[in-house]
Structure 1
Amino acid sequence: MQHNEMMERMRHGQGFIAALDQSGGSTPKALKGYGIEEGDWSDDQEMFALIHAMRERIVTSPCFSGEKVLGAILFERTMDGQAGGKPVPEALIERGVVPFLKIDKGLEDEANGVQLMKPIPGLDDLLARAKPLGVFGTKERSVINLANPAGIAAIVEQQFEVARQVLAHGMMPIIEPEVNIKSAERGAADALLRDALLRALDGLADGEEVMLKLSLPEEANLFAPLVGHPRVVRVVALSGGYSRADACRELARNHGVIASFSRALLEDLRHQMDDQEFDSSLGSAIDEIHGASTAKVTG
């Protein structure tokens, strides 16, 4: 796929984006969900080898293809690794799946009800290395815990600052200001975020476009103005701690929004499964998430 073909898939494709980007801090939890306990590795190198083996099994499964999976977000180590004897981005592109790269380095401590991204040293070098590998875009996450206008404004300002750096490399940024779905102020935070994003989108230059990765809102279709904004290529949703069934139910209520799930995609996969069991379980998850991304309901 060339860049323009990837853009077309992101803009109009019928499917979802798989988030396979668990990083160092979240890897033990992801492995535990996969059936591998923390004592089963002796150091970080072994831990990352185990999570890479899981990801390789996913992306080489017959059901993991561009028919229903539009894109995949990768951890840097995954981007640099192999799948089926090929560099992971190349293996994905051959299957019709658009590669993205997680670029954030974790979160700062909470201030004003939010957690900004930590600095991202060497980002320009990373982007310059990723693009020739076929990586189409990036994903950068921060977190909103309270409906604090100043905090949410700071989150959006930082996200768009990083997005412009990504755009300068000819790549597509996925902006991810996650609203904590357990927040007592969730509905108000959703609305403040929507309005702050609309103001920032209006400030983009001609030709600049971004993608948005957002928590499923408390009020269905609250993000409709973002879905329809001329500077937004696609709005995708994270599962945010929901089970797959609950996440898919909420996603189906939000028109124009597709999934970018991680835990909800992987929740039934276990390393002890044989290939037939693994592929069947993954295929069922893909079908369910694809359905909620493409077949919407009212009410």
Structure 2
Amino acid sequence: MQHNQLEKVKMANGFIAALDQSGGSTPKALAAYGIPKHAYTNEEEMFDLVHDMRTRIMTSPAFDSNYIIGAILFEQTMDRKIEGLYTGDYLAEKKGIVPFLKVDKGLAEEKNGVQLMKQIPNLENTLQRANDRHIFGTKMRSVIKHANQDGIKAVVDQQFEIGKRIIAADLLPIIEPEVDIHSPEKEACEDTLKAEILDQLNALNDHEHVMLKLTIPTQTNLYKELIIHPNVVRVVALSGGYSTKEANEKLKANNGLIASFSRALAQDLNVNQTDQQFNATLEQAVKSIYEASV
């Protein structure tokens, strides 16, 4: 783990860009970008198109390290190149942006009001490849829909169990137990989630550090104890389906919480925009998310 990247992630003003849509969510991301399903005939063409979209975002002058601390990548993106460099190297060397990798393989069926992560086969091999590609950290997502104590505990236990394996590989894990913004029990879910996370954090050794990626809480500043916890490098917020404007407004109310937005970052980008239009639209989104984060 590079010390200068750790300091940037811990201390720098800005936000984490999420560019990690995987196989299941890629068609929706492409459709939002103006590329319908009939524009590609197989998965290979689909992933080529989404890499082109991500390349356009990352090479834009608006994708600027003065505003963006890090970027979360899909595994295929990590293994592809931008301007002759593997994506992680391009981000670190050309942009000064810290690269992260999504390592989960999607969600299991709902049980006890939550969706755990599916099994992650060959995780250690993936983590070794991440190190070879100069990736700094990882991200993995679960979803909480109801305030079921057993379900929420199972989510947090799974996240930290895998997180410790990631720490052992000298990478920084982003723990992401997302609370569904449409849950009728959202606030109760968040109270239980906070307690379970604190239990896990308090059981870590001094050298074990994590980041947390959480839904913006209903109760303002609910996650203050997590933000200041000595084992937490940073707490970032997911947009969770909120529009950019709504996500930014909710984020601003929470001191010390910074953004890690996906949809809210790219929602107004379109394949048919000129470079000038595309860059101006991305710059507006980047600056608005940055302002909400600082």
The bucket for the TM-score relative to the shorter chain is over 0.9
Residue 204 (str. 1) matches residue 204 (str. 2): yes
Aligned residues: 293
The CA distance in 1 between the partners of 2:83 and 2:31, in whole Å, is 24
**Partner amino acid, structure 1, of 2:288:** E
The CA distance in 2 between the partners of 1:199 and 1:172, in whole Å, is 19
In the alignment, is the contact (CA less than 8 A) between 1:187 and 1:218 conserved in 2?
yes
State the Cα distance separating 1:36 from its structure 2 match: 0.5
Corresponding residue SS for 1:121: coil
**TM-score normalised by L of structure 1:** 0.97
The CA deviation string for residues 178-223 of structure 1, in whole angstroms up to 9 with x for no partner, is 0001000000000000010000000011210100000000111011
Q: What corresponds to 1:161 in structure 2?
A: 161
The CA distance in 2 between the partners of 1:6 and 1:65, in whole Å, is 16
Q: What corresponds to 1:62 in structure 2?
A: 61
Corresponding residue SS for 2:212: strand
Residue 73 (str. 1) matches residue 89 (str. 2): no
Q: What corresponds to 2:182 in structure 1?
A: 182
1:102-113 aligned at under 5 Å gives the runs: 102-113=102-113
Q: What corresponds to 1:266 in structure 2?
A: 266
Q: What corresponds to 1:18 in structure 2?
A: 17
1:238-277 aligned at under 5 Å gives the runs: 238-277=238-277
Q: What corresponds to 1:136 in structure 2?
A: 136
The CA deviation string for residues 118-158 of structure 1, in whole angstroms up to 9 with x for no partner, is 00001100100111211000000000000011100000000
The CA distance in 2 between the partners of 1:206 and 1:177, in whole Å, is 23
**Partner amino acid, structure 2, of 1:140:** M
The CA distance in 2 between the partners of 1:132 and 1:67, in whole Å, is 27
State the Cα distance separating 1:43 from its structure 2 match: 0.3
The CA distance in 1 between the partners of 2:207 and 2:88, in whole Å, is 26
The CA distance in 1 between the partners of 2:220 and 2:110, in whole Å, is 27
Corresponding residue SS for 2:146: coil
The CA distance in 2 between the partners of 1:75 and 1:226, in whole Å, is 27
Residue 36 (str. 1) matches residue 30 (str. 2): no
Structure 1 runs (4+) deviating above 4 angstroms are none
Identity of aligned residues (%): 52
Q: Where do 5+ consecutive residues of structure 2 fail to align? A: none
Q: Where do 5+ consecutive residues of structure 1 fail to align? A: 295-299
Q: What corresponds to 1:90 in structure 2?
A: 89
Corresponding residue SS for 2:236: strand
Q: What corresponds to 2:151 in structure 1?
A: 151
**TM-score normalised by L of structure 2:** 0.99
**Partner amino acid, structure 2, of 1:278:** F
Between 1:85-94 and 1:66-75, the stretch displaced more is: 85-94
In the alignment, is the contact (CA less than 8 A) between 1:56 and 1:84 conserved in 2?
no
The CA distance in 2 between the partners of 1:13 and 1:131, in whole Å, is 23
Q: What corresponds to 1:297 in structure 2?
A: none
**Partner amino acid, structure 2, of 1:45:** E
The CA distance in 1 between the partners of 2:89 and 2:282, in whole Å, is 21
Q: CA RMSD in A?
A: 0.7
